[in-house]
Chains A and B, each alone.
Chain A
């Protein structure tokens, strides 16, 4: 008897330990994921610069000074062979092969410096320009011995410095990992989110109001209800197929052949597709919020002569709004992290200029992460992780806002 009880208690302890292990391991996995991303990614926010001495008068570069103040300055400097001048200066400063030490985009930094202060063209100046990916990696202890030795030599000469890479937040996609930035993708994400919100929110809330407050209980409303619940569980990639077939496919109607209704890879199409995806989330959350408003409030309003529409828009909706907003923010967070449907509708193009409007070719943050993850260059690994950090910060902020709203406005009737 004693033995049996001991055995049962031992099993109880084991069971409890299993439970604890399950929770701990799940949390540990999350921690491991986040730590890996941060460890890989924080370097993406910094950059190694090389101090490069350029002797402009000796370079023989001829630039029309008058053009430097005009919008044609970029073209004039490129035409004068600035790129070669900078490469030549690197070769002079660091010996043969020295141009390998500076980034492909280093001359762009020099161009900005000249535009900022044209007088540098008359002297010998030392400018900080981005180091090449190889040097950047070598400083951190990666890469082959030859590059490492070169980097060590540069370091001894005091030519290397590390900075916070502001350009990562301002630039767009590029083939050179040193020069890439996330602004283009971020702007695309914001435009896409704007379209998604403008469509999904009003339609979702209005249909929730109809279904919850006015719909007669019959086969039609059952059908609408079932299809909304099913839509919430349809895999996201199916919405990509829908967007591709409906918005970007060709149609024929009344003998007219229509081309694609909307431009490919634009924020407008992405936003529409994501709006269809998160609409059911908003509808379900809004219905729950409306349902939790007690009937006595409706009765009171009806009792003093309000019409059914007035009851809803003046009384029920304001009270349900915190719940509706919480659901909407969660849905928007889901849309912000979504990648697969956007791949299908072509938002995977290589885009170097941030989109100017809803119909310009654009890409979004998760797709940018996906595209960078395919790049073989070592430099892209940390840029990918850095972009992931930015995405996670946005998502955490949105979820935090949702939790805050829920806690602040939670009412028990």
Chain B
């Protein structure tokens, strides 16, 4: 049975359980008591909970388990003996048979796969009906159990509320499981990578050319230093040269000088810069900014200018980052008490002197934290560099030359045609782990800065 139909069926059974229990609770003999502990609706919820949850849990487990069981059953079929021993080809044939059996494709191209269609289909039907049967049985069993417990003195409300609490707890655990999942999956794949390539070669090697990997010594062509440098150069140097002055001055102007009406319009306008999808920035960088930068370089007499320069990607990224810097700076300047500002002005300082000598020093932790978060954002930014930066790994200080970044390489390594276990693919996970750790550290430091150095004003 298809999964949606099954889910609807279970939900329907839950609804019937709810209605039945509520109707029964309405007719409870109060036995002299003025009020019963639980409302009829709560009895209904209790039965519905017992009907739906166990069945749903089983469906979740079953949908993860059954593909393995189906595969096992197909492999035991006599026709499977013709399958090639090599795991990759074998999986491809099995997948083809599965596609035809589930009617996503009309016919199989390979005769062996064609022969496996019938066994796959029968295994799918067998395990599919088995799963459906058990799920429905569980729903009925749950409903029966709950209905026997429902009675005039049964505390349905406490039971239901305990169920809700469990649901809430599970929901909040998903967040921590995601973090753990990210970390473990990155770590797992990276460890497989470091079994093939020594970690020192990866972290300190200065030659990056994943397209041609020497099978005997893969570490030689997988040195990531040029990527780290390119990421730092584009994200933390060029982008910040644009973003910090623009962001900071915008925040100062909007908080200190601008008329309220101007501020009301300009602040959301600047924030729109952060809302534009990065693929749009990337397209803009590649189509408009990069050629302009190259022409500029040529007019400076720099003949080898690349149209995929670090400058073009960095400039556009800097513009994208402006609102991050400005809104953090805005918040922390606004948090400085007006008494301090008024005091400085009363002493005869001009507004600009007040800003640079009083407000900025007082707001500095917030500003620094904003810059750190912006850097972490910039080095994790992908689409702009994928579309506007080059794939050539250089260590250079010349902004007109091409540079590549960690994120661009991750995309390049994983979108090419290559098998899943090669050092090339696994290298992407090692890069991802490095990126994850660095951005995590930047965030932690930023939060620490804010916590530790924040002046507490009354």
Q: List chain A positions with a Cβ less than 8 A from chain B.
A: 8-9, 11-12, 15-16, 18-23, 25-27, 29-30, 33, 36-37, 202-204, 206-207, 209-211, 214-215, 223-224, 227-231, 233-239, 241-242, 244-246, 249-250, 253, 256-259, 261, 276, 279-280, 283, 307-309, 333, 336-340, 343-344, 348, 366-367, 369-370, 373, 381, 384-385, 388, 391-392, 395, 399, 403
Chain A: interface secondary structure?
A: helix
* Stretch of B250-258, B331-339, B393-401 contacting A (4+ beta carbons < 8 Å): B250-258
When the two chains form their complex, are residues B279 and A366 in contact, meaning their CB atoms are under 8 A apart?
yes
When the two chains form their complex, are residues B175 and A227 in contact, meaning their CB atoms are under 8 A apart?
yes
B297 within 8 A of A: no
**In the bound complex, what is the Cα–Cα distance between A223 and B175 (angstroms)?**
10
When the two chains form their complex, are residues B283 and A16 in contact, meaning their CB atoms are under 8 A apart?
no
- CB contact between A210 and one of B171, B353, B373, B411 (< 8 Å): that residue: B171
B2-57 interface (Cβ within 8 A of A): none
B435 within 8 A of A: yes
Nearest B-chain residue to A261, judged by Cβ = B64
B282 within 8 A of A: yes
When the two chains form their complex, are residues B276 and A236 in contact, meaning their CB atoms are under 8 A apart?
no
- CB contact between A340 and one of B91, B175, B382 (< 8 Å): that residue: B382
Assuming the contacts A211-B172, A237-B432, A259-B71, asked whether A33 and B380 have C-beta atoms less than 8 A apart, the reply is no
- CB contact between B439 and one of A8, A233, A249, A395 (< 8 Å): that residue: A233
**In the bound complex, what is the Cα–Cα distance between A395 and B277 (angstroms)?**
9
When the two chains form their complex, are residues B277 and A207 in contact, meaning their CB atoms are under 8 A apart?
no
B350 within 8 A of A: yes
Query: Which residues of A have CB within 8 Å of B252?
Result: 19
Query: Which residues of A have CB within 8 Å of B1?
Result: none
- CB contact between B352 and one of A12, A234, A333, A373 (< 8 Å): that residue: A12
**In the bound complex, what is the Cα–Cα distance between A214 and B164 (angstroms)?**
12
**In the bound complex, what is the Cα–Cα distance between A280 and B283 (angstroms)?**
28
Query: Which residues of B have CB within 8 Å of A257?
Result: 68, 71
Query: Which residues of B have CB within 8 Å of A369?
Result: 279-280, 283
**In the bound complex, what is the Cα–Cα distance between A256 and B351 (angstroms)?**
71
Q: List chain B positions with a Cβ less than 8 A from chain A.
A: 64-65, 67-69, 71-72, 91, 94-95, 157, 161, 164-165, 167-169, 171-176, 178-182, 185-186, 188-189, 245-246, 248-250, 252-254, 256-258, 266, 268-270, 272-273, 275-284, 286-288, 319, 322, 350-353, 355-356, 373, 376-377, 379-383, 386-387, 407, 410-411, 414-415, 420, 428-429, 432, 435-436, 439-440, 443-444, 447
- CB contact between A26 and one of B180, B273, B276, B428 (< 8 Å): that residue: B273
Query: Which residues of B have CB within 8 Å of A336?
Result: 277
**In the bound complex, what is the Cα–Cα distance between A258 and B355 (angstroms)?**
62
- CB contact between B257 and one of A19, A33, A236, A237 (< 8 Å): that residue: A19
Query: Which residues of A have CB within 8 Å of B270?
Result: 23, 26-27, 30
* A-B pairs with beta carbons under 8 Å apart, 27 shown: A8-B350, A8-B353, A23-B253, A26-B273, A30-B269, A206-B172, A207-B168, A211-B172, A233-B373, A234-B182, A234-B440, A242-B181, A253-B68, A259-B94, A279-B174, A279-B175, A337-B276, A337-B279, A337-B280, A343-B411, A344-B415, A348-B415, A369-B280, A370-B383, A381-B287, A388-B283, A399-B272
**Extra A-B contacts (19), CB below 8 Å, given A22-B249, A258-B64:** A8-B353, A12-B352, A22-B246, A22-B248, A27-B270, A230-B444, A235-B380, A235-B407, A241-B186, A241-B410, A246-B181, A257-B71, A259-B91, A259-B94, A280-B175, A309-B161, A344-B414, A370-B383, A392-B276
When the two chains form their complex, are residues A19 and B182 in contact, meaning their CB atoms are under 8 A apart?
no
Q: In the assembled complex, how far is the CB of residue B69 from the closest CB belonging to chain A, in whole angstroms?
A: 8
Query: Which residues of A have CB within 8 Å of B167?
Result: 206
Query: Which residues of A have CB within 8 Å of B351?
Result: 12, 15-16
| The 7 A-B residue pairs with the shortest CB-CB distance in the complex, in nearest-first order | A235-B380, A19-B253, A337-B277, A207-B172, A22-B249, A206-B171, A15-B352
**In the bound complex, what is the Cα–Cα distance between A30 and B266 (angstroms)?**
12
Q: In the assembled complex, how far is the CB of residue A204 from the closest CB belonging to chain B, in whole angstroms?
A: 8
- CB contact between A22 and one of B245, B373, B444 (< 8 Å): that residue: B245
Assuming the contacts A210-B172, A337-B279, asked whether A238 and B165 have C-beta atoms less than 8 A apart, the reply is no
**In the bound complex, what is the Cα–Cα distance between A16 and B182 (angstroms)?**
46
Query: Which residues of A have CB within 8 Å of B386?
Result: 340, 343, 370
Q: In the assembled complex, how far is the CB of residue B413 from the closest CB belonging to chain A, in whole angstroms?
A: 10
When the two chains form their complex, are residues B284 and A36 in contact, meaning their CB atoms are under 8 A apart?
yes
When the two chains form their complex, are residues B287 and A235 in contact, meaning their CB atoms are under 8 A apart?
no
Q: In the assembled complex, how far is the CB of residue B384 from the closest CB belonging to chain A, in whole angstroms?
A: 10
Query: Which residues of A have CB within 8 Å of B283?
Result: 369-370, 373, 384-385, 388
**In the bound complex, what is the Cα–Cα distance between A366 and B280 (angstroms)?**
8
Q: In the assembled complex, how far is the CB of residue B344 from the closest CB belonging to chain A, in whole angstroms?
A: 13
When the two chains form their complex, are residues B411 and A340 in contact, meaning their CB atoms are under 8 A apart?
yes
Query: Which residues of B have CB within 8 Å of A37?
Result: 280, 284
When the two chains form their complex, are residues A399 and B275 in contact, meaning their CB atoms are under 8 A apart?
yes
When the two chains form their complex, are residues B71 and A33 in contact, meaning their CB atoms are under 8 A apart?
no
**In the bound complex, what is the Cα–Cα distance between A30 and B322 (angstroms)?**
11
When the two chains form their complex, are residues B182 and A339 in contact, meaning their CB atoms are under 8 A apart?
no
Q: In the assembled complex, how far is the CB of residue A317 from the closest CB belonging to chain B, in whole angstroms?
A: 12
**In the bound complex, what is the Cα–Cα distance between A14 and B272 (angstroms)?**
27
Query: Which residues of B have CB within 8 Å of A246?
Result: 181, 185
When the two chains form their complex, are residues B176 and A223 in contact, meaning their CB atoms are under 8 A apart?
yes
- CB contact between B165 and one of A214, A230, A250 (< 8 Å): that residue: A214
- CB contact between A207 and one of B64, B68, B171, B282 (< 8 Å): that residue: B171
When the two chains form their complex, are residues A26 and B319 in contact, meaning their CB atoms are under 8 A apart?
yes
Query: Which residues of B have CB within 8 Å of A8?
Result: 350, 353
Nearest A-chain residue to B245, judged by Cβ = A22
Q: In the assembled complex, how far is the CB of residue B195 from the closest CB belonging to chain A, in whole angstroms?
A: 17
**In the bound complex, what is the Cα–Cα distance between A373 and B279 (angstroms)?**
10
**In the bound complex, what is the Cα–Cα distance between A211 and B171 (angstroms)?**
10
When the two chains form their complex, are residues A12 and B350 in contact, meaning their CB atoms are under 8 A apart?
yes
Nearest A-chain residue to B443, judged by Cβ = A233
- B65, B283, B356 — most chain A CB neighbours (10 Å): B283
**In the bound complex, what is the Cα–Cα distance between A243 and B196 (angstroms)?**
24
Q: In the assembled complex, how far is the CB of residue B89 from the closest CB belonging to chain A, in whole angstroms?
A: 14
Nearest B-chain residue to A279, judged by Cβ = B175
- CB contact between B253 and one of A20, A228, A249, A373 (< 8 Å): that residue: A20
Query: Which residues of B have CB within 8 Å of A370?
Result: 279, 282-283, 383, 386-387
- CB contact between A238 and one of B186, B381, B411 (< 8 Å): that residue: B186
**In the bound complex, what is the Cα–Cα distance between A258 and B72 (angstroms)?**
10
**In the bound complex, what is the Cα–Cα distance between A202 and B355 (angstroms)?**
45
